[in-house]
Amino acid sequence: MKVDVLLGLQWGDEGKGKVVDVLTPRYDVVARFQGGPNAGHTLEFEGQKYVLRSIPSGIFQGNKVNIIGNGVVLDPSLFKAEAEALEASGHPLKERLHISKKAHLILPTHRILDAAYEAAKGAAKVGTTGKGIGPTYTDKVSRTGLRVGDILCHFEEKYAAAKARHEQILKSLNYEYDITELEKQWLEGIEYLRTFHLVDSEHEINNLLKDGKSVLCEGAQGTMLDVDFGSYPFVTSSNTICAGACTGLGLGPNKIGEVYGIMKAYCTRVGAGPFPTELFDETGKTIRALGHEYGAVTGRERRCGWVDLVALRYSIMVNGVTQLILMKSDVLDAFDTIKACVAYKVNGEEIDYFPYDITEGVEPIYVEMPGWKTDMTKMTSEDEFPEEFNAYISFLEEQLGTPVKIVSVGPDREQTIERYTEK
Ligand code: GDP
Ligand code: IMO
Ligand code: MG
């Protein structure tokens, strides 16, 4: 019996997809527990690049069971496009992908409502991915949502009722839209979804655990986007933290073992909202260019800045992180100096904890360290790490009170180095 959880500690896009793929051979099951097609998880191996949105990143390594859990919101038309592309590229998934009947469906009108609400907010908009995430989770909590299991029974009536309700809201907002094409593709997606294993995934996953199988839970987004603990209201609409794996899959908290926290060696954010260590200068632009920091889903420029240890300590705390995975260290290979934010100055006072509100008046206090000025992308062992990089890792471990067990030095599956291994 073993459930480990892997999740992002910053504002998403930390490299979760890559590491889930790397770790998959050690597990029997990989499961997504929250979020939906707002996620874009990139994997690279054998010269190929894949971006996954709703399908777990355990789909490529061996014949593992991959589960889309009840906490996920699923758009049938986007799911169909994603699954068909994978099948066409020689990665069959029909037999190994199991979808919870309790996962909620993103309707075409949820996507339109997402756009309408953003337009109504004007300058205060969240900068969502436009995939209908907020409206779908709103319906779930309001007890008016449609679930995957609903497609098996009186579906047409249920869909018509939900659509009519959404149309009323859109009318009240005076929002103009054309649903025809979106709905056509969505209904085709519903028929496609019927051809998959639609399961009671909470039973399945607990039975697998009883049989001695191990599970890796794949988080989406990041802790700073969590609906409770993130930079509210500039967050997503689900619990991205470790506890989300319990509610999003039907797992008791006593089943959780390791909690892998993923962080970049710097920090990025896409969409609106506060970002204390954001860089607006040439350094920020250089990080964006070297790290190819553009959204995997929307193509939007990601905002870039130095690593924020105040926010990371908070993320580690609310998730119970047991080990860190340090991503994209190679992006800083050419820098003369590296900075890390160790505390904030708020109203003239220095604090080392993450405050209630980071919207304004938060000034980062930095520690500056020498860069390593070495190309690390071809390194295969920690023995090759330059002295300055080792010093940077030790500094992070000390500041964060958590060991860095994996270091990623490039996007490829192979560019992954484990630390603390038996020599
Ligand atoms: P996710 O949403 O957390 O899975 O992350 P994304 O896929 O949205 O963004 C991470 C990006 O960084 C992708 O383009 C990855 O291919 C890339 N990447 C992952 N790890 C590394 C790394 O160690 N170095 C570099 N240079 N790129 C990486
Ligand atoms: P992965 O899993 C980065 C951001 C959006 C927006 C906010 C709310 O690839 O790390 P939503 O569409 O969820 O209502 O948007 O959250 N956001 C992400 N940012 N990576 C993601 O996923 C994200 N998913 C949502 O940009 O600011
Ligand atoms: Mg991403």
The set of protein residues with a Cβ atom below 6 angstroms from ligand 1 is 8, 12-18, 40-42, 44, 292, 296, 327-328, 330-331, 408-411
Q: Is residue 37 in contact with ligand 2, taking CB distance under 6 Å?
A: no
Residue 202: the pLDDT is 98
The CB of 220 under 6 Å from ligand 2? The reply is yes
pLDDT in tens, 83-117: 999 999 999 999 999 999 999 999 999 999 999 99
Q: Please give the model's pTM, rounded to 2 decimal places.
A: 0.97
Section 254-258 average pLDDT = 97
13 alpha carbon – ligand 3 mean position (Å): 4
Tell me, in angstroms, the distance from the centre of ligand 3 to residue 222's CA.
9
What pLDDT score was predicted for residue 297? 74
Quote the pLDDT of residue 296: 76
41 catalytic, yes or no? yes
Whether ligand 2 lies within 6 angstroms of the CB of 34 is answered as no
Condensed to tens digits (0 to 9), the pLDDT of residues 276-299 reads 999 999 999 999 999 999 987 778
pLDDT at res. 295: 84
**Residue 162 Cα, ligand 2 centroid: separation in angstroms?**
25
- SS3 sequence of the chain: CEEEEEEECCCCCCCHHHHHHHHHHHCCEEEECCECCCCCEEEEECCEEEEECCCCCCCCCCCCEEEECCCEEECHHHHHHHHHHHHHCCCCCCCCEEEECCCEECCHHHHHHHHHHHHHHHHHCCCCCCCCHHHHHHHHHCCCCCEHHHHHCCHHHHHHHHHHHHHHHHHHCCCCCCCHHHHHHHHHHHHHHCCCEEECHHHHHHHHHHCCCEEEEECCCCHHHCCCCCCCCCCCCCCCCCHHHHHCCCCCHHHEEEEEEEEECCEEECCCCCCCCECCCHHHHHHHHHCCCECCCCCCECEEECEEHHHHHHHHHHHCCCEEEEECHHHHCCCCEEEEEEEEEECCEEECCCCCCCCCCEEEEEEEEECCCCCCCCCCCHHHCCHHHHHHHHHHHHHHCCCEEEEECCCECCCEEECCCCC
Residue 1 pLDDT > 90: no
Query: Tell me: the pLDDT tens digits for 335-354?
Result: 999 999 999 999 999 999 99
Q: What is residue 422's predicted lDDT score, i.e. its pLDDT?
A: 63
Q: For atom 25 of ligand 1, which residue has the closest CA?
A: 410
Q: Is 28 an annotated catalytic residue?
A: no
Whether residue 75 is predicted with pLDDT greater than 70 in this model: the reply is yes
Rounded to the nearest angstrom, the distance between the alpha carbon of 411 and the centre of ligand 1 is: 6
Residue 55 pLDDT level (bands cut at 50, 70, 90): very high
Of all atoms in ligand 1, which is nearest to the CA of residue 416? Answer: 23
pLDDT tens digits for range 198-249: 999 999 999 999 999 999 999 999 999 999 999 999 999 999 999 999 999 9
Q: What are the pLDDT digits (tens) for 375-405?
A: 999 999 999 999 999 999 999 999 999 999 9
Confidence of residue 8 (pLDDT cuts 50, 70, 90): very high
Q: What is the pLDDT of residue 423?
A: 53
The catalytic residue among 13, 114, 139, 308 is 13
Report, as an integer, the average pLDDT of 66-89: 97
- Average of per-residue pLDDT values in the chain: 96
